[in-house]
């Protein structure tokens, strides 16, 4: 329900179009260290949740999670906003594209850089979930046409917006100007741009992965057919640095169908650490707060 409410409220907010920062985050020599850093933004006149999310490349949901005591739906001049550009890398091979559904982020690991690029994404809505899979890019398409499924055409007709059998490239095409088809299923899943940037950072697509236009244009130029793609769902990330400091990053658990996840959290990375000096109550408080940023949980003996 929280994500649905944010989606509705974002529609009421003006979105200032800005060129986003596309900056690599260096990979630390010690893999236990968080990547990137928290930033502090002093709000200017006209700043909105949507415009800050787009400029800094952070999903609106993560911005709100990182600022739980502030009203980001009505940002005021001089208000201090924490930008959650610090994170723990998900447990997946550092190769190609990694998509973590729980945090609404896409990670890109270039072959020739000791760095990672991180982007906010929109993913499949309830009933049209983005699948968990290990696959690759099977097709690259610039200025793609869109062939909506029968179900999608029916949905649009019910909204009074009938669709043609094939939607040509252009401003009315929800795929935007760039699309990368995944070698999964019948090829119905894409990483693509959008003609509605407010959907990025939310759960609003029919199963595809949506990116801001400027982000997908950049990524399209970096990858090619055959680039590996991992789609995972990790709401809890844990790392330990060389000094024994333990960091925990917690996100709202997400099931593949969007309902509240009532399954026990995967604590396999934490359980052994509880016997080495970590306080279980501290761990549970961090998990419960779901700040979406790395929190120092303690130090193991």
Is the same domain home to 208 and 266?
A: no
Residues taking part in catalysis: 192, 208
**Calpha distance 210→40 (Å, rounded):** 27
What percent of the chain lies above the pLDDT cut of 70? 89
Paired strand residues for 109:
96
Is the same domain home to 134 and 220?
A: yes
Residue 252 DSSP symbol: -
**Calpha distance 35→39 (Å, rounded):** 13
Is the same domain home to 197 and 80?
A: yes
Is the same domain home to 62 and 154?
A: yes
Instruction: State the average pLDDT over residues 177-197.
Output: 94
Q: Please tell me which residue, 129 or 16, carries the higher pLDDT value.
A: 129
Q: What are phi and psi of 205, to 5 degrees?
A: -90, 180
Number of domains in the chain: 2
Is the same domain home to 44 and 176?
A: yes
What Cα–Cα distance (Å) separates residue 290 from each residue in 257, 262, 265, 279? 20, 15, 13, 18
Is the same domain home to 61 and 198?
A: yes
pLDDT above 60: residue 101:
yes
Is the same domain home to 12 and 70?
A: yes
Residue 98 confidence (pLDDT)? 98
pLDDT tens-digit series, residues 40-51: 999 999 999 999
Reported confidence tier of residue 36, pLDDT bands at 50, 70, 90: very high
Residue 181 DSSP symbol: E
14: CATH:
2.40.440.10
Is the same domain home to 35 and 147?
A: yes
Is the same domain home to 175 and 30?
A: yes
Is the same domain home to 173 and 94?
A: yes
**Calpha distance 248→268 (Å, rounded):** 13
DSSP letters for 14-35: -----PPP---EEPPSSTTSPE
**Calpha distance 169→144 (Å, rounded):** 6
The parent domain of residue 95 ranges over: 2-232
3-class state of residue 101 by DSSP: helix
Is the same domain home to 91 and 116?
A: yes
Is the same domain home to 225 and 250?
A: no
pLDDT tens-digit series, residues 189-242: 999 999 999 889 888 887 899 999 999 999 999 999 999 999 999 999 999 999
pLDDT above 80: residue 265:
no
């Amino acid at each position: 329900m929280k994500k649905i409410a944010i989606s509705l409220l974002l529609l009421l907010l003006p979105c200032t179009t800005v060129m986003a920062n596309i900056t690599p985050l260096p990979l630390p020599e010690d893999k236990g260290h968080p990547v990137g850093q928290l930033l502090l933004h002093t709000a200017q006149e006209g700043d909105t949740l949507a415009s800050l999310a787009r400029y800094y490349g952070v999903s609106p949901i993560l911005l709100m999670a990182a600022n739980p005591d502030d009203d980001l739906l009505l940002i005021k001049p001089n208000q201090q906003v924490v930008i959650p550009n610090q994170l723990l890398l998900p447990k997946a091979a550092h190769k190609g594209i990694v998509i973590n559904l729980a945090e609404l982020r896409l990670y890109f690991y270039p072959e020739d850089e000791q760095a990672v690029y991180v982007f906010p994404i929109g993913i499949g809505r309830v009933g049209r979930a983005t699948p968990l899979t290990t696959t690759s890019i099977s097709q690259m398409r610039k200025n793609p046409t869109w062939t909506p499924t029968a179900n999608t055409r029916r949905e649009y007709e019910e909204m009074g917006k009938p669709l043609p059998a094939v939607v040509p490239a252009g401003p009315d095409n929800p795929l935007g100007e760039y699309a990368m088809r995944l070698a999964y299923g019948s090829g119905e899943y894409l990483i693509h741009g959008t003609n509605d940037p407010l959907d990025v950072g939310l759960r609003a697509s029919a199963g595809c992965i949506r990116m801001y236009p400027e982000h997908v244009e950049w990524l399209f130029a970096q990858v090619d057919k055959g680039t590996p793609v991992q789609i995972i769902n990790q709401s809890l990330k844990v790392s330990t640095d060389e000094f024994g400091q333990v960091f925990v990053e917690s996100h709202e658990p997400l099931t593949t169908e969007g309902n509240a996840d009532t399954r026990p959290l995967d604590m396999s990375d934490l359980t052994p650490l509880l016997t080495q000096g970590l306080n279980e109550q501290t761990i549970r408080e961090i998990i419960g707060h779901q700040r979406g940023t790395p929190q120092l949980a303690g130090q193991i003996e």
